[in-house]
Amino acid sequence: MENDRALLLSEYILETRAYWLEATDVTWETGLLRAYLNGEFYNSFGGGERARIAQTRVSNKDNQWFGTPGGNDTDDYIFLLSLEEVVQYFGDSGQLANRPNDDPYNETWNIDDQYKEARMTTYRNGNLGTWWLRSPGANGRCVAAIDYYGGIRVGGTVVYSEITGEGNGGVRPAMWITL
């Protein structure tokens, strides 16, 4: 909660949907998933419900580990959480800010910490699933995600991956509502 508004995050993965459809660099600002969430998904709410959803300035920071550009900040009604918001709301082990150096090849791409259970979620049928974040991954063709077991994929998942069927990725929308 913040002043006269509250952040809502879907408890479950509501659906699976592509972040982008081809092998090209993309940011949250230009992604198909953002367009869907702020268009068709937002418009699926009734007028009274939409009136309570606050348009929010969404910060799209560069990936802290890989330097991948996050793109311009956006004004959204519905959004996905960022890497920074995930650690803020689900627990911060300090690994995002301080990339672990225990990998001799410096190829660490994930955070698997004591907060992973809090980040785990399921589809409505109870099957575990992965869910997209809006932050970029290791390059412009990857986007950060949360895996089945709550690990943070800082290096990300390919944006044009086939995301069909449960268990391969999903959408967990967030929004600020006025109280």
In the chain, domain spans: 5-178
Instruction: Note if the pTM is more than 0.85.
Output: yes
Q: What are phi and psi of 9, to 5 degrees?
A: -130, 130
Strand order in the sheet with 142-146: 110-111, 152-158, 142-146, 131-136
pLDDT in tens, 107-147: 678 999 999 999 999 998 999 989 999 999 999 999 999 99
DSSP annotation of 101 reads -
DSSP annotation of 40 reads I
Overall average pLDDT of the 54-73 stretch: 96
pLDDT in tens, 153-177: 999 888 876 544 443 579 999 999 9
Q: Say yes or no to pLDDT of 97 above 60.
A: yes
Higher-pLDDT residue of 35 and 23 is: 35
> What residues have CB less than 8 Å from 131, skipping those under 6 apart?
13, 121, 145, 146, 169, 170, 171, 172
User: What was the pLDDT predicted at 96?
Assistant: 92
For residue 20, name the pLDDT band (cuts at 50, 70, 90): confident
21 neighbors 36 (Cβ within 8 angstroms): no
Please give the Cα distance from 28 to 37 (Å, whole number).
Answer: 11
Higher-pLDDT residue of 85 and 107 is: 85
Overall average pLDDT of the 51-74 stretch: 96
Please give the Cα distance from 33 to 74 (Å, whole number).
Answer: 13
